[in-house]
Amino acid sequence: MVKLVLILGDQLSEEISALREADKACDVVVMAEVADEAEYVPHHPKKIAFIFAAMRKFANRLEEAGWQVRYTRLDEDANSGSIAGELLRRAEETGAKEVIATEPGEWRLISALEDLPIPVHQFPDDRFLCGHDEFDDWAEGRKELRMEYFYRQMRRKTGLLMEDGKPAGGKWNFDHENRRPAPGDLDFGGPMQFTPDDTVKEVLDLVDDRFGKNFGTLRPFWFATDQGQARRALSHFVKRALPMFGDYQDAMLQENRFLYHSVISMYLNAGLLGWREVCEAAEAAWRSGDAPINAVEGFIRQIIGWREYMRGIYFREGPEYTARNILRYVRSLPAFYWTAETDMLCVAKAVEQTREEAYAHHIQRLMITGNFALLAGIDPAEVHEWYLAVYADAYEWVEAPNVIGMSQFADGGIVGSKPYVSGGNYINKMSDYCGDCAYSVSKKTGEGACPFNLLYWGFLDRHRDRFEKNPRMAQMYRTWDKMDAERRRTVLADAEAVLERLDAGDRV
């Protein structure tokens, strides 16, 4: 009996469980570019183009391998506009009575498949290191679900950077060595870039026509769009950038958007690369003496630590996780998250880069755009939707815990032991933004004072009942309490003035 085999745009791996469960001799692979997936948030055009181009190339690979593929392009007249609709249409065409799928990475799609009027068997997505049951077993009974301890378990499980059952180098974590400020110069020209081929060009024209008004610049387009290109991008990073990645992974520069970052998360999350090949390539560089352990450990931690941990949190917490709002924030997302029209140079540069590249690294996301949103009391649902829309590597399973949990503390501390907030001094230390900013990072009150400084103290004062007993925040409150009363009143009044300007739509 013919079965349909659903392959989604972030499941572009020949090792995906749905393909393993299918029979190449009779089953039919279904892939579809549909409006529902492209439009449920206003995705960056580069993200849409990347996924569509990679899907088309992957479909061709499957056909060359002997699979029968029914592929729907976005502009086909018969396109029903949804994954569910395309499965029903293909079932009617082929006479299939059952669908095989790999579990999607968003509750929204899981629910859509469960609601189909034909049986759908969703198999685990075992491209990941840690399955749902394993994560739940680890989490059960713990008062705090700290990533560091989960990461150690994953290190033991994989044997990565392990020697005789102990962590290589004598420590699990070398993060204290990975916080150097922005370097004076760089000897890395950024991630490997690829010239669009005919398939990519065709997709770019389609996306430009359909989504050209979305936030984001479509061209120039340089992403890898198949497995071979993605592996070349990985090799380029390991050889050219990994040795310096650790030292400067938190640094930010106006004129260098990539520093020593890999920019491969979009390839990992779409299935063009697997966690094991990426981590083993990095580990091999350390064992051969080509990259220091602080760089390699920090890189591997992002993949088998944070990435896997975020997925575990997302599925453990359930479909309502994205609605969490423990701080009860209701302020609307400022327009400058879309326009970059703000006098805060750090925010303007992060948004400009996001608009042009569909990329910003983790500190720009966490300590610039995320930090401001948390300090200013922005509705976390709006912040979540923005991040999901604008980044090429964003899928809800990884984006939501990073934003709702890590960045916005909207989950009440499930992900982070404290809110990730800072004033302007941290940004000044880790970047070259502040020197050219219209605001003065050294000015604490009055006209021209950095909004991050003002809002930082306003945040601490506003949420004192919640955070003053947090041991990681005690020093912040001691510093605040040492200020004289008049200065505290001035700071809070100036902070409130910033928020009033935001609410009025005035330039900040």
- Clarify whether residues 158 and 307 are in a common domain: yes
- Clarify whether residues 369 and 429 are in a common domain: yes
Judged against a pLDDT cut of 80, whether residue 270 lies above it is answered with yes
pLDDT class of 429 with cuts at 50, 70, 90: very high
- Clarify whether residues 491 and 474 are in a common domain: yes
Quote the CA–CA distance of 274 and 397 in Å, as a whole number: 17
- Clarify whether residues 497 and 400 are in a common domain: yes
Q: What is the mean pLDDT of residues 233-254?
A: 96
Quote the CA–CA distance of 378 and 78 in Å, as a whole number: 41
Q: What is the mean pLDDT of residues 492-502?
A: 97
CATH number at residue 15: 3.40.50.620
Convert the pLDDT of each residue in 164-188 to its tens digit: 999 999 999 998 888 888 887 888 8
Closest-CA residue to 96 (of 36, 188, 40, 30): 30
Strand bridging mode 162-163 / 166-167: antiparallel
Number of domains in the chain: 3
Cβ atoms of 352 and 340 closer than 8 Å: yes
pLDDT above 90 coverage of the chain, percent: 96
Give the number of other Cβ atoms within 10 Å of residue 310's Cβ.
20
Quote the CA–CA distance of 79 and 31 in Å, as a whole number: 11
- Clarify whether residues 286 and 149 are in a common domain: yes
Identify the pLDDT of residue 206.
98
Identify the pLDDT of residue 234.
98
Give the number of other Cβ atoms within 10 Å of residue 179's Cβ.
15
Position 447 in a domain: yes
Task: Using the 3D structure, point to which of 284, 317, 350 is the last residue of a domain.
Answer: 317
Q: What is the mean pLDDT of residues 449-462?
A: 97
Helix, strand, coil % (nearest 5) of the chain? 55, 5, 40
Q: How far is CA 226 from the centre of its chain?
A: 20
Cα Rg of the chain, angstroms: 23
Judged against a pLDDT cut of 80, whether residue 484 lies above it is answered with yes
Position 228 in a domain: no
Convert the pLDDT of each residue in 201-226 to its tens digit: 999 999 999 999 999 999 999 999 99
- Clarify whether residues 68 and 85 are in a common domain: yes
Cβ atoms of 245 and 299 closer than 8 Å: yes
CB within 8 Å of 107: residues ≥ 6 apart: 318, 319, 396
Task: Using the 3D structure, point to which of 288, 317, 346 is the last residue of a domain.
Answer: 317
Cβ atoms of 212 and 218 closer than 8 Å: yes
Identify the pLDDT of residue 185.
80
Is 253 buried (19+), middle (13-18) or exposed (0-12) by CB count in 10 A? middle
Cβ atoms of 69 and 29 closer than 8 Å: yes
- Clarify whether residues 115 and 166 are in a common domain: no
Judged against a pLDDT cut of 90, whether residue 328 lies above it is answered with yes
- Clarify whether residues 363 and 286 are in a common domain: no
DSSP-derived secondary structure letter, 292: -
Position 219 in a domain: no
Position 344 in a domain: yes
Quote the CA–CA distance of 214 and 45 in Å, as a whole number: 7
Position 486 in a domain: yes
Convert the pLDDT of each residue in 25-65 to its tens digit: 999 999 999 999 999 999 999 999 999 999 999 999 999 99
H-helix segments, 410-450: 424-430
To which H or E segment does residue 134 belong? helix 132-139
Closest-CA residue to 401 (of 107, 188, 87, 182): 107
Quote the CA–CA distance of 193 and 11 in Å, as a whole number: 22
CATH number at residue 289: 1.25.40.80
Convert the pLDDT of each residue in 276-309 to its tens digit: 999 999 999 999 999 999 999 999 999 999 999 9
- Clarify whether residues 78 and 112 are in a common domain: yes
Convert the pLDDT of each residue in 340-390 to its tens digit: 999 999 999 999 999 999 999 999 999 999 999 999 999 999 999 999 999
- Clarify whether residues 304 and 360 are in a common domain: no
- Clarify whether residues 378 and 422 are in a common domain: yes
Q: What is the mean pLDDT of residues 120-139?
A: 97
Identify the pLDDT of residue 307.
98
Identify the pLDDT of residue 186.
83
Quote the CA–CA distance of 215 and 46 in Å, as a whole number: 10
CA distances from 399 to 133, 183, 391 (A): 21, 29, 9
Cβ atoms of 277 and 300 closer than 8 Å: no
DSSP-derived secondary structure letter, 507: -
Largest interatomic CA distance in the chain: 79
3-state secondary structure of 432: coil
CATH number at residue 440: 1.10.579.10
Closest-CA residue to 227 (of 17, 31, 53): 53
Query: Mean pLDDT, the chain, as a whole number?
Result: 96
Judged against a pLDDT cut of 80, whether residue 412 lies above it is answered with yes
Position 175 in a domain: yes
**Cis ω before 401 (30° cut-off from 0):** no
Cβ atoms of 414 and 360 closer than 8 Å: no
Position 211 in a domain: no
Quote the CA–CA distance of 101 and 97 in Å, as a whole number: 14
Amino acid at 239: K
**What are 162's strand-pairing partners?**
167
H-helix segments, 241-335: 242-248, 265-270, 275-287, 293-300, 308-317
- Clarify whether residues 470 and 494 are in a common domain: yes
Could you tell me the residue range of the domain that residue 451 belongs to?
336-504
pLDDT class of 1 with cuts at 50, 70, 90: confident
